[in-house]
Amino acid sequence: MDRYPLVLEAVFKDYLWGGDKLKREWGKLSELDVIAESWELSLFPDALSRVTNGAFAGQTLLEVLEFHSDFAGAKCRSFSKFPTLIKLIDSRDNLSVQVHPSDAYALINENSFGKTEVWYILEAEEGAGLYLGFNKNTDRNEVAERIANNTLTEILNFVPVTAGEAYFVSAGTVHAIGRGITLAEIQQNSNLTYRVYDFGRVGKDGKPRELHVEKALRVMNYKKKTAFAAAYPYVDFGGYKKKVVADDKYFYTEAYSTDGTCPLFNRDSFLCITSIGGAAELLYDGGKVSFSKGQSVFLPAEFEVTVEGKTEFLATMLR
């Protein structure tokens, strides 16, 4: 089957902390009042991205790759399942404070992989920020006590954020996205989360949401963390510039800003484009595909396109 750009239909999650910004400003169409998360590139079992164009229209990306595994690229072969998950997140309110286990712990105790992720800040209201790691060395007993008496956030780093910053969140790091932020989350393909503290909220059923305190206490890093944004600069290539956002074995992401044409090609890996501003076209031998803010497009390995237009996007692959 000939390769072409696969436009993806996202899967939406209406968690109670989400808002309607992804509908109002990012072109997401849904009957849901709230879109907390838009799962852009997902082969997760209960949230499968679907192709909307061309010969594979109507099929899930998982179905496409089952019959055309070469589309994922040679570097995917070392993974037991597709390694990467990409989301857009709108935090109208604080997310829960949580932690993700490592692969080593999760495989033994949860029959699952762990979770490492990066946050790329797209928009942030004044004063918005992230909770990221402890602001001092602590221990299991103190953390358990602070969870019980609702003072946990006092020993967490609160980091004010601005658009264009990237924050790496390794497994074991206690963290939470604060209110008033829109971000892209590029992560390991896992949804294993231990919720530690939820700001006293209740769920849709009127009951406190489930916490996973004992599990979280087993896997969290209790050492003081220096929390800061990754300092990768843009490099100018003429008609476009780009910078590194994330470099991990499960994902490698660059941010592009174009005003003209920009070639894209990856021999050994898929490449997923997620538009974060402006409309453009993907030109390829045999046609073109338009994409705009909030859309994601899966480019098969060994497939060359040219981005034409004034736009910004994230490009995620394996490195």
Strands 117-124 and 166-169: antiparallel
| Res. 68: pLDDT tops 70 | yes
> Tens of pLDDT along 298-309?
999 999 999 999
Beta bridge partners of 233: none
Which helix (H) or strand (E) is 190 found in, with range?
none
| Res. 230: pLDDT tops 80 | yes
Selected from 3.20.20.20, 2.160.10.10, 3.40.50.720, 2.60.120.10, the CATH number assigned to the domain covering 235-317 reads 2.60.120.10
Distance between CA atoms of 29 and 23, rounded to whole angstroms? 6
> Tens of pLDDT along 154-201?
999 999 999 999 999 999 999 999 999 999 999 999 999 999 999 988
> Tens of pLDDT along 109-123?
999 999 999 999 999
> Tens of pLDDT along 187-196?
999 999 999 9
| Res. 286: pLDDT tops 90 | no
Distance between CA atoms of 75 and 199, rounded to whole angstroms? 41
For the residues 236-258, what does the mean pLDDT come to?
96
For the residues 138-160, what does the mean pLDDT come to?
97
CA atoms within 13 A on the CB side of 256: 28
For the residues 54-68, what does the mean pLDDT come to?
97
CB 84 within 8 A of CB 318: yes
Sorted by sequence, the CB contacts under 8 Å of residue 231 that are 6+ apart come out as none
Identity (one letter) of the amino acid at 17? W
For the residues 47-54, what does the mean pLDDT come to?
97
Instruction: State the pLDDT at residue 200.
Output: 87
For the residues 266-283, what does the mean pLDDT come to?
96
3-state per-residue secondary structure call for 75-119: HHHHCCCCCEEEEEEEECCCCCEEECCCHHHHHHHCCCCCCCEEE
Which helix (H) or strand (E) is 189 found in, with range?
none
Higher pLDDT, 243 or 1: 243
pLDDT, the chain, mean: 96
Distance between CA atoms of 313 and 222, rounded to whole angstroms? 36
- Per CATH, the number for 6-219 is 2.60.120.10
Distance between CA atoms of 116 and 221, rounded to whole angstroms? 14
6-219 and 235-317 have identical folds: yes
Instruction: State the pLDDT at residue 231.
Output: 83
| Res. 59: pLDDT tops 90 | yes
Higher pLDDT, 82 or 2: 82
Instruction: State the pLDDT at residue 1.
Output: 62
Task: Kindly list the distances between the CA atom of residue 89 and the CA atoms of 40, 182, 187, 204, in Å, as whole numbers in the listed order.
Answer: 10, 6, 13, 20
The b/e string for 201-230 (b: 16+ C-beta within 10 A; e otherwise) is: eeeeeeeeeebbeebbbebbbbeebebebe
The dihedrals phi and psi of 110, each to the nearest 5 degrees, come to -125, 0
| Res. 2: pLDDT tops 90 | no
Higher pLDDT, 239 or 269: 269
Strands 50-51 and 156-160: unpaired
318: Cα separation from own chain's centroid: 15
Assessment of whether the complete model's pTM goes beyond 0.85: yes
CB 217 within 8 A of CB 133: no
Instruction: State the pLDDT at residue 208.
Output: 87
Distance between CA atoms of 106 and 57, rounded to whole angstroms? 35
For the residues 308-318, what does the mean pLDDT come to?
97
Sign of CA dihedral 209, 100, 172, 90: negative
For the residues 191-214, what does the mean pLDDT come to?
91
Structural domain boundaries in the chain: 6-219, 235-317
Q: What is the percentage of the chain residues whose pLDDT exceeds 70?
A: 100
Instruction: State the pLDDT at residue 206.
Output: 85
247 pLDDT tier (thresholds 50, 70, 90): very high
Distance between CA atoms of 222 and 237, rounded to whole angstroms? 42
CB 183 within 8 A of CB 146: no
6 pLDDT tier (thresholds 50, 70, 90): very high
